């Protein structure tokens, strides 16, 4: 009997290992790299607006309220009866983004709480079927299309509003998982069928973390069929077109975009006044650009649809800087000439832009330069420096004692031909 038990155990282990290998092979097949053929507009844009907005904006304690405070579904549903945003003006949102120098806008069509800002046929927990009685996504999409602004839809796969999903875990029952996946497929189809051209699909909230359970490959294939030019992020469990580090600048070997809050929360939180200063936000934008990435900066409208005044002021300041210095950002990438003693550097064609965090005074030194610098212009004032170059060392003379830009000063270096580092280059 003991021998037979051992043999049975070996057979069962063998079957288990074989099944695990098959499952792993299927998973590997499902997450093959799938990159959109033309992402040039997005990679040249560099800078976009993220908008987190939903019923959680009414109590004003952040977008994770339902989970963090363990609010029962019936109690949370009452927020939809209070969400009737009288000040919602998506044309104003788009204008704010454009004035800030942003080239695309991404709005949360549905966050983890399951509340849809759009008219979904497979859910009653929507703005259209509750107090607002409006398809807010249609109004947003119409405003973007009218303004010629590139537009993206954020969509969370998980839905805390479905019984059996909270408390949040990384596994749910098979029946609940099927319900989640079926709803996600139906709603993504609605979003990509009913609102004209959609430029970006921004997935989030893949709990449980299993692309096979979510049928992610089918989801992406459907998205590309409905919107052939759409660009898709990596949060459905598949690499798709671009990576999405969050609240961190983390350079990738493929297209990537860092998303950041202005303060400490994504959704509106009335008393969160921990705003990053303008110079820090511009540093983050420059840091992403200098490493071939994009920067997605979040705003969080209140329950009435108004962007908080602090965020409006920050956007305005960024916009003023971008009007003068945008040529160091748009279409820019990493520079072969670096100046870590000063700050960061980007490159466009035969120009290198020094984004200077540590202004050294009237003389700005650069090193490890392998090609001739023709000119150096201070973008804030239009002043040209006197260029001295000896071998791979360059000195820019006759500049101001103090930085002329209060946030991030930029010097445009124009080279004879392609900018090259010296050999050996700076490491």
pLDDT digits 0-9 by tens, 296-336: 999 999 999 999 999 999 999 999 999 999 999 999 999 99
Kindly report, as residue ranges, where domains of CATH 2.60.40.1180 are found in the chain. 335-415
Position 3 scores a pLDDT of 43
Residue 141: phi and psi, rounded to 5, are -60, -40
Is the pLDDT reported for residue 184 higher than 90? Answer: yes
CA 137/CA 106 separation, integer angstroms = 11
Position 354 scores a pLDDT of 98
Position 424 scores a pLDDT of 87
pLDDT band at 32 (very low <50, low <70, confident <90, very high): very low
Single out the residue of 422, 403, 34, 41 nearest to residue 199, CA to CA: 41
On whether the CB atoms of residues 258 and 249 are closer than 8 A, the answer is: yes
pLDDT digits (tens, 9 = 90+) for 34-44: 456 589 999 99
CA 69/CA 160 separation, integer angstroms = 13
Position 426 scores a pLDDT of 84
Residue 36: phi and psi, rounded to 5, are -65, 140
pLDDT digits (tens, 9 = 90+) for 88-117: 999 999 999 999 999 999 999 999 999 999
Position 1 scores a pLDDT of 40
pLDDT digits (tens, 9 = 90+) for 258-279: 999 999 999 999 999 999 999 9
Q: Please list, in sequence order, all residues whose beta carbon lies within 8 angstroms of the beta carbon of residue 51, skipping any fewer than 6 positions away.
A: 93, 105, 106, 107, 108, 298, 299, 300, 301
Position 346 scores a pLDDT of 98
Q: What global pTM score does this model have?
A: 0.91
Helix H or strand E encompassing 151 = strand 150-156
Instruction: Report the percentage of the chain scoring pLDDT > 90.
Output: 89
Q: Please list, in sequence order, all residues whose beta carbon lies within 8 angstroms of the beta carbon of residue 50, skipping any fewer than 6 positions away.
A: 106, 154, 259, 266, 296, 297, 298, 299
Is the pLDDT reported for residue 126 higher than 80? Answer: yes
By three-state DSSP, how is residue 150 classified? strand
Is the pLDDT reported for residue 33 higher than 60? Answer: no
The CATH superfamily holding the domain 36-328 is Glycosidases (3.20.20.80)
CA 86/CA 173 separation, integer angstroms = 40
Average per-residue pLDDT in the chain?
92
More confident residue, 414 or 32: 414
Position 16 scores a pLDDT of 41
**CA 237 to the chain's CA centroid:** 16
Average pLDDT over every residue of 158-174: 88
CA 331/CA 373 separation, integer angstroms = 21
Q: Please list, in sequence order, all residues whose beta carbon lies within 8 angstroms of the beta carbon of residue 124, skipping any fewer than 6 positions away.
A: none
Average pLDDT over every residue of 394-412: 97
Assess whether the previous peptide bond of 424 is cis (omega < 30° from 0). yes
Q: Write down the H helix ranges in 230-297.
A: 278-290
On whether the CB atoms of residues 243 and 251 are closer than 8 A, the answer is: no
Average pLDDT over every residue of 413-425: 95
On whether the CB atoms of residues 112 and 156 are closer than 8 A, the answer is: yes
Helix H or strand E encompassing 343 = strand 343-348
- Of the listed ranges 239-243, 262-266, 281-285, 422-426, the one predicted with least confidence: 422-426
On whether the CB atoms of residues 249 and 217 are closer than 8 A, the answer is: no
pLDDT band at 372 (very low <50, low <70, confident <90, very high): very high
Highest-pLDDT range among 3-17, 19-33, 351-365: 351-365
Average pLDDT over every residue of 73-100: 98
CATH value of 335-415 in 3.90.226.10, 2.60.40.1180, 2.30.110.10, 1.10.3720.10:
2.60.40.1180
Is the pLDDT reported for residue 2 higher than 80? Answer: no
Strand-pairing partners, residue 171, are: none
CA 339/CA 103 separation, integer angstroms = 28
- Of the listed ranges 60-74, 157-171, 301-315, the one predicted with least confidence: 157-171
Average pLDDT over every residue of 26-30: 39
Position 387 scores a pLDDT of 98
Position 168 scores a pLDDT of 67
pLDDT band at 29 (very low <50, low <70, confident <90, very high): very low
Kindly report, as residue ranges, where domains of CATH 3.20.20.80 are found in the chain. 36-328
More confident residue, 47 or 31: 47
């Amino acid at each position: 009997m003991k021998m037979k038990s051992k043999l049975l155990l070996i057979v069962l282990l063998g079957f288990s290992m074989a099944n695990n290998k098959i499952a792993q092979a299927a998973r590997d097949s499902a997450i093959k790299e799938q990159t959109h053929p033309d992402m040039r507009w997005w990679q040249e844009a560099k800078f976009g607006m993220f908008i987190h907005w939903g019923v959680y904006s009414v109590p004003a304690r952040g977008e994770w309220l339902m989970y963090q405070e363990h609010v029962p579904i019936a109690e949370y549903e009452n927020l939809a009866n209070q969400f009737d945003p009288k000040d919602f003006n998506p044309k104003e949102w788009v204008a704010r983004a454009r004035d800030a120098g942003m080239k695309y806008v991404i709005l949360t069509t549905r966050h983890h709480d399951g509340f849809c800002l759009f008219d979904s046929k497979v859910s009653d927990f929507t703005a259209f079927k509750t107090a607002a009685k409006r398809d807010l996504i249609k109004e947003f999409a119409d405003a973007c299309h009218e303004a010629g602004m590139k537009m993206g839809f954020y969509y969370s796969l998980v839905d805390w509003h479905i019984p059996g999903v909270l408390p949040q875990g990384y596994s749910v029952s098979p029946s609940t998982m099927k319900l989640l996946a079926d709803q996600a497929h139906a709603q993504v189809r609605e979003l990509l069928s009913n609102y004209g051209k959609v430029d970006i699909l921004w997935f989030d909230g893949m709990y449980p973390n299993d692309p096979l359970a979510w049928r992610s490959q089918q989801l992406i294939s459907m998205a590309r069929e409905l919107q052939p030019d759409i660009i898709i992020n990596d949060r459905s469990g598949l690499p798709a077109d671009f990576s999405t580090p969050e609240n961190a600048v983390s350079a990738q070997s493929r297209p990537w975009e860092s998303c950041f809050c202005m303060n400490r929360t994504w959704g509106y939180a009335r008393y969160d006044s921990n705003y990053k200063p303008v110079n820090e936000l511009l540093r983050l934008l420059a840091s992403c650009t200098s490493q071939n990435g994009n920067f997605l900066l979040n705003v969080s409208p209140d329950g009435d649809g108004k962007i908080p005044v602090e965020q409006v002021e920050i956007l305005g300041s960024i916009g003023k800087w971008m009007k003068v210095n945008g040529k160091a950002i748009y279409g820019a990438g990493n520079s072969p000439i670096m100046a870590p003693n000063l700050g960061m550097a980007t490159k466009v064609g035969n120009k290198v832009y020094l984004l200077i965090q540590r202004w050294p005074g009237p003389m700005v030194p650069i090193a490890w330069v392998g090609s001739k610098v023709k000119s150096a212009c201070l973008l804030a004032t239009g002043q040209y420096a006197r260029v001295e170059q000896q071998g791979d060392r360059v000195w820019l003379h006759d500049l101001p004692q103090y930085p002329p830009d209060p946030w991030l000063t930029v010097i445009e270096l124009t080279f004879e031909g392609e900018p090259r580092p010296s050999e050996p280059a700076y490491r």
